[in-house]
A and B are shown apart, each in its own frame.
Chain A
Amino acid sequence: MNRLRCLALAPAAALLTATVGLPFLILAAYAFLSRGTYGGVALPWTLENWRRLADPLYAGILARSFLAAALATLLCLVLAFPLALSIARASRWKHLLLALVMLPFWTSLLVRAYAWMFLLRDTGLVNTLLMRLDLISEPLPLLYNWGAVVLGLVYAHLPFMVLPLYAALERQDPALLEAAADLGARQWHAFWRVTLPLAAPGIRAGVLLVFIPCLGTYLIPDLLGGGKTILVGTLIQNQFTTARDWPFGSAVSLALMAAVLVLLWLEVRRRKEPLL
């Protein structure tokens, strides 16, 4: 590597070391220390935190979080695909439609979560409307359950699915579909055999960009789930706040990150392409 490239790498490498590398090392060290009496960490070094992780309770929470994230990712994919396809095929309004997808994400996510709570409450807009229309007689329990948690996860991460899907679909040549039709393929058939396989890179990128952050989110599931459920993000958050158990919180974080890194590594190996 020549000097110029080294120089070009230097600022990013320094920034990465200061904000990711060193903090990560401290976190890794914390995971092997004991809990300080009133918070913080203390000696001696110990494996206790890792032994606690083996508790089926925590394994269950981790498994449930993976399930919720997977479900949210799948829903994002199913919902985002037609939208990304429409935008990619739209001739004039492409940029405007993309902007419309991004626009809500310029307001604070927290504020939008509160707006959702207002929509979904028993006396909220959705229930009031349905009751006025005489479609239901009792308000539907829309808020404070698993459905609301998944809805929150999907809502918060949709654009991260739409954008890569759009990028992949936009590059597709419409002539391919015409050719398929000329050869007698029906619309669904052409979609299944032509559009979908060609969108694969976009799907993979979108799945990664949605699945990973879904795993660690805590504010949205907490607000919409009403604190009746617990995902690994909340578990970690609790360790650093109410429980004041930094070493155990660090251990849970490391376990979660390791699990995701392994998934990422498997994916990169399968693809035989560099991640970056």
Chain B
Amino acid sequence: MKRAAALASVALLAFLHAPLLVLAAFSFNEGRFAVWEGFSWRWYAEAARDQRLVEAAGNSLWIAAAATLISTAAGTLCAWALWKRQSRLLTLGFSLSLVTPEIVTGVSLLAFFQWLFRFGGLQLGMHTVVLAHAGFCLAFVVFVVLARLRTMDASLEEAAMDLGATEWQAFRRVTLPNLAPGVVSAALLAFAISFDDYVITSLVAGVDTETLPMALYAMARRGGSPVVNAISTAIVALLGAAILAAEGLRRKE
């Protein structure tokens, strides 16, 4: 049975990576179309020269970083506060956030901003995108961090407080360090969700906030420029290398 499971796993990993391999292969294709014409780096050079793509990638990183920071900070604190005491209202809010289809989140946020702007004279822009992203990442962060908290022993914090620590100190010195792996994985999840979002972003984006998924989608719809393949492959390769490096470091410890 073990062998059957291993075989099935390999097949599944192949299924997950098949489209990536296609992307990677054709990112090195000399020609523009899906016929192999020889090896070349030209699409990578073109991707690096494409001002719009570079800027969109920068925007995406900025937005994802800001949204991750905000949602992870707020979400971690919230999960800690919810740890021992439930809040029905917040639970309902988070469930609502999780069951809302992306398109509905996007449209309702746009409608909300439209109402808000009637009085504020504000414009759609970086702040609306970051706010939207932080909002839809929040529920995931709370979910992940709370799951980690539930495996932890609440009496540790109480012991610290018995020994004279304030509640905040107990959180900072005792709970937070133990919570770190949960917080890190929540942040990674938030970053991934924010970095890849197209549906919501395209609705609440303003003039200076074209993100990478928006730029890539526009290019793909115009007829799969190999530049799209090149930049996607580059991102996966970079992240793959980062993961390998992190794994290597972990092993050394």
Given known contacts A96-B247, A108-B232, A216-B103, A19 and B220 CB-to-CB distance under 8 angstroms: no
Residues on A with beta carbons closer than 8 Å to the beta carbon of B163: none
Stretch among B5-13, B37-45, B46-54 lining the A interface: B5-13
Q: Is the CB of A9 within 8 A of B77?
A: yes
- B-side binding surface: helix, strand, loop or mixed? helix
Residue A172 is within 8 A (CB to CB) of chain B in the complex = no
Q: Is the CB of B135 within 8 A of A16?
A: yes
Bound CA–CA A275/B135 (angstroms): 19
Q: Tell me which residues from 157 to 196 in chain A have a Cβ below 8 Å from any Cβ of chain B.
A: 158, 187-188, 191
Residues on A with beta carbons closer than 8 Å to the beta carbon of B22: 115, 118-119, 125
**Counting chain A CB atoms within 10 Å of each CB, which of B70, B77, B107, B244 scores highest?**
B107
Q: How many residues of A contact B (CB 8 A)?
A: 80
Residue B208 is within 8 A (CB to CB) of chain A in the complex = no
- Cβ distance A145 to chain B, nearest Cβ, rounded Å: 18
Q: Is the CB of B1 within 8 A of A5?
A: no
Given known contacts A9-B77, A83-B12, A116-B19, A99 and B97 CB-to-CB distance under 8 angstroms: no
Q: Is the CB of B19 within 8 A of A110?
A: no
Choose among B81, B85, B232, B243 the residue that contacts A111 (Cβ–Cβ < 8 A). Answer: B232
Q: Which of A's residues lie within 8 Å of B, judged by CB? A: 1-2, 4-6, 8-9, 11-13, 15-24, 26-27, 30, 79-80, 82-83, 85-87, 89, 95-96, 99-112, 114-116, 118-119, 125, 155, 158, 187-188, 191, 212-213, 215-219, 233, 236-237, 240, 246, 249, 253, 256-257, 260-261, 264, 274-276
Closest 7 CB pairs of A and B: A216-B101, A19-B135, A12-B78, A115-B19, A23-B108, A82-B8, A11-B74
